[in-house]
Structure 1
Amino acid sequence: MANPRKPAALKLVAGTDRPDRKGADPIDLPLVSEVPLPPDWLPNQHAKTEWDRLARILHANRLLTEASLTSLAHLCALDGKIKQLYTAGETPTASMVAQLRAYQSEFGLTPVAQGKVKPAEREANGNQFAGNGRRRAS
């Protein structure tokens, strides 16, 4: 691959990081203080079980926010419906499976997506090498 992009961490170490090229700061959504109960409208026990499982995992990793509760509920409802279809000997549609996979990726629940999601508690406190004496580009 010709001219791959240099990772941001290497730019900081090299002293070539430029503030004008940084993206906007992510919004700071309030975290859920404790693991919430599943919504009453979840369609079946499979969905409620998935809610209990995922809500605990996401809460422990500080990824569950007030704003993400509805998306988590939709993920669990879809998961419950797919499991219900499989239990009945039927096959879910490809779009249902694709949508479930998309929801799972949004929460960092697939192997590839895990590297893209950064939990709030693990945010870096800055780069210890940023002030390494090199001149910054201006």
Structure 2
Amino acid sequence: MAHRIINPPDWAPAKGYANGVLTEDGLLFTGGQIGWTDRQEFEAHEFVGQMAQALKNIRTIVETAGGTVADITRMTWYITDKKEYLSRQREVGAAYREIFGRHFPAMAVVVVSGLIEDEALVEIEATAVIRR
């Protein structure tokens, strides 16, 4: 089965991974997205800001592949601080709805001891089904 690497055109190149892989049958798998910008720079240094940027990154990958956030079927979140995530649920929900609207795919949240990028507080990966 053929697949296509998805990398938004204005983004810095991914090194050692793909930002997205779109299969011939319309399955899109995103690489784990962290809270850095298209230039691979952190503008936010707190959880909600990084989470919002990671979601925007996912949205951009999905749109580059020809889909919309409504095509996202699954997300896995990796977070480094359970207490901060739980204490900021209202802000998390507001930021999520601002970016993804009221689309809620299947999700899991996993607490991890750290992420590869030391400054990253959250990493989110997603799967979408794009049939256009």
Q: Do Structure 1 and Structure 2 share a fold, with TM-score over 0.5?
A: no
Q: Which has the higher strand share?
A: 2
Specify the structure having the higher radius of gyration (Cα). 1
